[in-house]
Amino acid sequence: MLSFGALTKNNVMSLTIGVLKESKDKRVAITPENIKRSKVKDATWWIEGGAGTDAGFSDSTYSGLATIKDKASILKGADIIVTIFPPSDNDCAQIHSGALLISQFRPYQDETVNAKLSQYPFRSLSMDMIPRTTLAQAMDVLSSMASIAGYKAVLTAAQNLPRYFPMMITSAGSIKPSKVLVIGAGVAGLQAIATSRKLGAVVEAFDVRSAAKEEVQSLGAKFVEVEGAKDDIGAGGYAVQQSEEYLARQRAEVQARASKADVIICTAQVRGRKAPVLIEAETVNNMRHGSVIVDLAASTGGNCALTQNDKTIQVNGVTIIGNSSLECEMPEDASQMYGNNILNLLSHITTEGALNLNMEDEIVKGSLIKP
């Protein structure tokens, strides 16, 4: 068991928790509302000046809850430092040896992360490595952010679509509801299905995990089954890589449906690997003019062969939006939810105001990159 914190005047342990301003994101890791709800006993909060401004939380909104500090003071003095993206190498070099840095390091995407963090004297915990268990659900940043991305993907598609989502019966004529195809029915995909249904679209969805079928159907969408998927319950709920033969059959099934779809939302991913390509260039060419593809898998290669990461392109009248960070476009609620996930983790790893990292604990074991 590792524990630390400073003694207050009353001999009670007290942690100083510092929040840095993100350099490439409007979100902030902790909002004033989060601090109000925090159960970490006697904690002192330090917020870097301007950290919450772009998410709608000016420095004055933290007044009475946190002290506004400069970055260097937080790096050198805080017991725990929380961020959304990992701090720069320069910033990491200033963090003191007793600190715990909590961020999203994505070691499953970048195999150099562990070695890099090992150079530093502080410890680091990766929010995106917390196991996807029932107990850890309230700390699951992957789920909270994916849910926002799925919602935003549908709104983005609707905004770019030159057609209605819902069926319309008006004196100027009747309009058929749009058809939405969702590829990958994990957290983002299920939220995309729910949002599309609320907007009145007709929805079909694919997934390789058998558990997804019932979830898709319960949201009022049709589950498209491609027989023979590898489904490994030992993979922690994640999909496993499928054979090339299976993916070819799936691509044919996608192609048959894509020509009738107005919108395709792509979310299919296999953790730690390149995303499967399920929409070929030929499939895009067969789509109706004005149709929209939103590819949330863009950063891991994309589910559409033509997707360009962080770019919106037009191919034969079809708009292809490659964006894997649509949660950043809803910074206020995204910050609130990220902060709640952090607080739930902090409650789990602190006792009586001191940090307690129990190395036997499944959540700590799974997420502590450098103990």
Q: Look up 288 and say whether it is catalytic.
A: no
CB of 299 to ligand NAD, least distance (A): 11
Return the residues of window 4-43 that contact ligand NAD according to CB under 6 A. none
CB of 325 to ligand NAD, least distance (A): 13
| Cα–Cα distance, 102 to 105 (Å, whole number) | 9
Q: Does 268 bind ligand NAD (CB under 6 A)?
A: yes
Q: Terminal CA-to-CA distance of the chain, rounded, Å? A: 11
Runs of H (alpha helix) within 38-88: 71-77
Cβ closest to ligand NAD, residue 71 vs residue 273 = 273
Q: Which of 38, 143, 269, 324 is catalytic?
A: 143
CB of 371 to ligand NAD, least distance (A): 23
Q: Does 182 bind ligand NAD (CB under 6 A)?
A: no
Q: Look up 238 and say whether it is catalytic.
A: yes
**3-state DSSP call for residue 122?**
coil
| Cα–Cα distance, 287 to 278 (Å, whole number) | 14
β-pair partners for 102: 82, 125
Q: Does 267 bind ligand NAD (CB under 6 A)?
A: yes
DSSP secondary-structure letter at 205? E
Which of 10, 88, 97, 134 is close enough to bind ligand NAD by CB under 6 A? 134
Q: Look up 143 and say whether it is catalytic.
A: yes
Contact 326, 298 (CB under 8 A): no
300 token code pair = 């891991």
| Nearest Cα residue to 212 out of 250, 240, 186 | 186
Q: Which of 140, 207, 262, 295 is catalytic?
A: 140
Q: Look up 243 and say whether it is catalytic.
A: no
**Taking contact as CB under 6 A, which single stretch among the options 11-19, 21-29, 268-276, 304-312 is the one that binds ligand NAD?**
268-276
Which of 4, 238, 253, 305 is close enough to bind ligand NAD by CB under 6 A? 238
Cβ closest to ligand NAD, residue 82 vs residue 208 = 208
Position with the least CB separation from ligand NAD: 186
| Cα–Cα distance, 141 to 298 (Å, whole number) | 19
Cβ closest to ligand NAD, residue 242 vs residue 335 = 242
| Cα–Cα distance, 240 to 273 (Å, whole number) | 9
Q: Look up 108 and say whether it is catalytic.
A: no
Which of 143, 144, 156, 299 is close enough to bind ligand NAD by CB under 6 A? 143
Question: DSSP per residue over 175-200, as a string?
Answer: EPPPEEEEE--SHHHHHHHHHHHHTT
| Cα–Cα distance, 141 to 341 (Å, whole number) | 6
* Residue 72 CA to its chain's centroid (Å): 28
Q: Does 270 bind ligand NAD (CB under 6 A)?
A: yes
Query: Tell me, what amino acid is at 38?
Result: S
Cβ closest to ligand NAD, residue 16 vs residue 242 = 242
Contact 149, 328 (CB under 8 A): no
| Nearest Cα residue to 267 out of 188, 149, 154, 194 | 188
Which of 184, 302, 331, 339 is close enough to bind ligand NAD by CB under 6 A? 184
Total length of the chain: 371
Q: Which of 108, 164, 238, 246 is catalytic?
A: 238
Q: Which are the catalytic amino acids? A: 132, 137, 140, 143, 238
Residues that bind ligand NAD (CB under 6 A): 132-134, 137, 140, 142-143, 146, 183-189, 206-209, 212, 237-239, 242, 250, 267-271, 276
